[in-house]
Amino acid sequence: MKKKVIITRNILPDGLSLLESHGIAFDVNLSEKPLSYEELMEKACNADAIISMLSDNIDQRFLESNPHLKVIANYAVGFNNIDLMTARALNIRIGNTPDVLTEATAETALGLMIAAGRNFKGANSAVNDGRWKNWGPKDHLGFALRGKTLGVIGLGRIGMRLAEMAASAFKMQIIYTANSTKENTFGAKIVSLDELLSQSDYISIHAPLNASTKHLIGKDQFQKMRPHSVLVNTARGEIIDQDALIWALKEKLIFAAGLDVTEPEPLPLSSELLKLENVFILPHIGSATFEARREMSILCAKNIIAGLNGENLISEVK
């Protein structure tokens, strides 16, 4: 009998063709919304594998109810939505999609540095609200990037790529936090988190979400930042204590924030963040280029094919 994969959202077709050419059947959720936990549970009971999204909650109960699954290929580099310990205990292989989305996500972070640092939100809303009456020499002022210090929290693949772009295009000095020093060609220096917070003009978060990074940036950390600093997050919303961020933005402890991720997602319309002019928010589109999403679709399919053959995945989370 053909092996069967549940694909929880309608991904770009490149990976689907690959599955087809390997004789693997799939059931794609063609609707515009995620499957509920119970819907996915019901579908998983007679499937061999899943291509999951970062919004699917693959927890202990889900995995223990589906120990027959061979592989779950997450359509994301992050895997905080999956209970790895339980998956490991049940011998269910877990895949993710690093590398192929590095460029797209680094570009999103750079875009947010500029959008937040140059006050695009306030300026754009003046246009949309009819407050653009004339040209003003002191209207919508922001800060330049050139020559400033960028602090990268987590110099992994994405953080490194952003640092390279910032150093080469804007001659920024790079400081970073990481578990170990990282070789680089642009003089980036490893520092403590406190040093990074107090020395950076721009701060960009590129750490995975786990127990040690949840609410890593809270009230104490905002108090160490420079008042003209710009905080960017393209990693996971939960790394920032969002109430503390709202407080810091209101109290002008920092100049602005650019967020591609929030807590929760989607962000409710009632969120105070949406009322502030100095925060520019995107709906988690870090990897949303045609190029990256195509490669992610292919990599997920390759992970499924390998896993169903009982082989190590192309990109396996251990």
CB under 6 A: which stretch of 5-13, 73-81, 186-194, 304-312 binds ligand GLV? Answer: 73-81
Residue 284 annotated in active site: yes
* Cα dihedral sign, 164-165-169-172: negative
**Residue 239 and residue 236: Cα distance in Å, rounded?**
6
Concerning whether 265 is annotated as a catalytic residue, the answer is: yes
258 binds ligand GLV (CB under 6 A): no
Of the listed 9, 161, 284, 293, which one is catalytic?
A: 284
At position 64, the amino acid (one-letter code) is E
- Identify whether 236 is a catalytic site residue: yes
Does 216 bind ligand GLV (CB under 6 A)? Our answer is no
Angle between helices 14-21 and 290-308 (to 10 degrees): 20
By C-beta, is 22 or 182 nearer to ligand GLV?
Answer: 182
Segment 153 to 192, residues that bind ligand GLV, using CB under 6 A: 156-159
Min dist. Cβ of residue 296 to ligand GLV (A): 8
Cis peptide before 268 (omega within 30 of 0): no
Among 15, 78, 122, 151, binds ligand GLV (CB under 6 A): 78
Contacts of 224 (CB under 8 A, 6+ apart): 194, 197, 198
What is the total residue count of the chain? Answer: 318
CB under 8 A, 24+ apart: contacts of 135-142: 142/117, 142/118, 142/255, 142/256
Q: Two tokens at 23?
A: 């004789």
DSSP letters along 219-285, please?
A: HHHHHHS-TT-EEEE-S-GGGB-HHHHHHHHHTTSSSEEEES--SSSSPPTT-GGGG-TTEEE-SS-
How many CB atoms lie under 10 A from the CB of residue 271? 16
**CB-nearer residue toward ligand GLV: 200 or 287:** 287
Mark the segment that binds ligand GLV (CB under 6 A) among 71-79, 120-128, 165-173, 181-189: 71-79
Q: Which of residues 27-56 bind ligand GLV (CB under 6 A)?
A: 54
Among 4, 88, 98, 186, binds ligand GLV (CB under 6 A): 98
Q: Distances from the Cα of 14 to the Cαs of 17, 23, 176, 302, in angstroms?
A: 5, 15, 36, 11
In the bound state with ligand GLV, the residue whose beta carbon lies nearer, of 75 and 222, is 75
Catalytic pick among 42, 251, 265, 291: 265
By C-beta, is 119 or 242 nearer to ligand GLV?
A: 242
Give the bridge partners for 247, in sequence order.
none
Tell me: does residue 206 bind ligand GLV (CB under 6 A): yes
Among 24, 94, 101, 145, binds ligand GLV (CB under 6 A): 101
Closest separation between CB of residue 287 and ligand GLV, Å? 5
The DSSP secondary-structure symbol of 300 reads: H
Q: Which is nearer to ligand GLV, 34 or 208 (CB)?
A: 208
Interface residue list for ligand GLV (CB under 6 A): 54, 76-78, 98, 101-102, 156-159, 206, 208, 286-287
Catalytically annotated residues: 236, 265, 284
